[in-house]
Structure 1
Amino acid sequence: MKPPLSDLLPVLSKPILRLPRLTGPALVMGSAPNFRLPYGHDAGWALITVNASQILAETFGLAAPDMALMRRGILVGQGEQDFYKRDLLKGRQAKHLIVPIWPDVEDKLKAGCRTFDYRYETLQALTRWQLAN
């Protein structure tokens, strides 16, 4: 006899993630216009960038991001903006790269990063299931 679904939910609802733990304050950079560094920002803050906002971070003299969240189209997409962003990010790196909704194809993700020499210390691909939990 199969166990009731309610017995499985606690197990199913806790996906395994290999996400780094950041401590202290963090600066999250996206594509908001007129960005300014927050009052009190210093080198002790973690830096989290979204998509190609790493370029903006460099204009403020900030180091490579501790964590970069990047949509998969930037890595393997064929659109004009995808090629443009790959050119912008060429040769750059992040400590931890996270790509949402990339189920079970980390090899393709790694190959996509190699095409424009984007480096990382750790890589985490998030599936829809992991994002929902």
Structure 2
Amino acid sequence: MAASFTELKKHLYRSVKYWLCRPKPPTLVEPFSGPVVVVGSAPVSHKPADFDRTFKVITINGSQVVTKAWGIEAPDVTFVQFNQIEGTNTNAVEVRRVLSGERTKKLYVLLWRKGRERLEDGLKAFDYRYDNLEIVDRYKRMALLDLVGGVRCSELGADDKCSNGINAVLFALYNGATAVIITGINPASGGHIYNHANLARLHIQRDREILLRLMERGYPVFTADPTVSESLGLPLWDGKAPARQESESPEKSARPASKRATLLTPSLR
């Protein structure tokens, strides 16, 4: 009962703060104008058909190891969870290992609360470089799911939140991607491409729900992974020409206006 009351208070606090602050999602100075590939850390991924310099690339945590194998020295955007900077668990240590000596163009660090100077020092400690750095707080992340997915969520626990990979999909759509192709994002898989620890993946059910919701709302979301296409029903990316026929017009795929959201009340166990 006490735990339920605590969760309810947290839900109410975050909901009211979100309503008062009216946060905007992370926004690029120059919006995307073509297809965007979001590369996750699942063990299996594929380079999309017709991949060329017109695609923009977003990596998640240590998935830059995948795009480096594609010949990409610096992704256009990288999302890194705060714990990867100083965390001591296996995943954080492995993320720092594979990112050591690498660079990205735009780096978003999610939920970092220890000040920018300490963040910059933490990134220097494992020699990860960037052209531009921005911290994304909880409420900006909530705004992505609200404005693009039409879902309001107070992020009470892992089951309530979607993964950084899905947040990157929402980010790409919000910032004008004409098509979003995911690879290495599989709600049914476990483990990570950059280590052999076979760590459990979180947010499985929420990721599935949000991907299906984006399809229902007509967003141009595809997968380059056949098994994900089969399990979720996401259209398999066959190249630019088929995508132009299936996706919405550029006017509709630009930054979406706010739509009425579905309010998710917390599960009070």
Fold shared, TM-score > 0.5 on shorter chain: yes
Is the contact between residue 38 and residue 58 of structure 2 (CA under 8 Å) also seen in structure 1?
Answer: yes
- What does residue range 84-103 of structure 1 map to in structure 2 within 5 Å? 84-103=94-113
Higher relative contact order (CA 8 A, sep 6+): 2
Find the counterpart in structure 2 of residue 80 from structure 1. 90
**Deviation of 1:18 (Å):** 5.7
CA distance in 1, matches of 2:26, 2:55: 23
CA distance in 2, matches of 1:113, 1:50: 15
Find the counterpart in structure 1 of residue 184 from structure 2. none
Q: Which of 9, 13, 27 is matched with 2:37 structurally?
A: 27
CA distance in 1, matches of 2:65, 2:137: 27
Find the counterpart in structure 1 of residue 116 from structure 2. 106
Aligned pair in 2 of structure 1 residues 34, 81: CA closer, same or farther (>3 Å)? closer
Q: Which of 53, 56, 81 is matched with 1:71 structurally?
A: 81
1:111 partner SS: helix
**Deviation of 1:11 (Å):** 6.8
TM-score by length of 1: 0.82
Structure 1 residues without counterparts, runs of 5 or longer:
1-8
**Deviation of 1:46 (Å):** 0.6
- Which protein is richer in helix relative to its size? 2
Find the counterpart in structure 2 of residue 14 from structure 1. 23
Q: Which of 57, 60, 63 is matched with 1:50 structurally?
A: 60
CA distance in 2, matches of 1:113, 1:15: 26
**Deviation of 1:37 (Å):** 1.3
Q: Which of 139, 149, 157 is matched with 1:129 structurally?
A: 139
Structure 2 residues without counterparts, runs of 5 or longer:
1-17, 144-269
- Which protein is richer in strand relative to its size? 1
Is the contact between residue 85 and residue 123 of structure 2 (CA under 8 Å) also seen in structure 1?
Answer: yes
User: RMSD across aligned C-alpha pairs, in angstroms?
Assistant: 2.1
TM-score by length of 2: 0.43
CA distance in 1, matches of 2:23, 2:83: 27
**Deviation of 1:62 (Å):** 2.2
CA distance in 1, matches of 2:25, 2:45: 34
**Deviation of 1:27 (Å):** 1.0
CA distance in 2, matches of 1:92, 1:13: 35
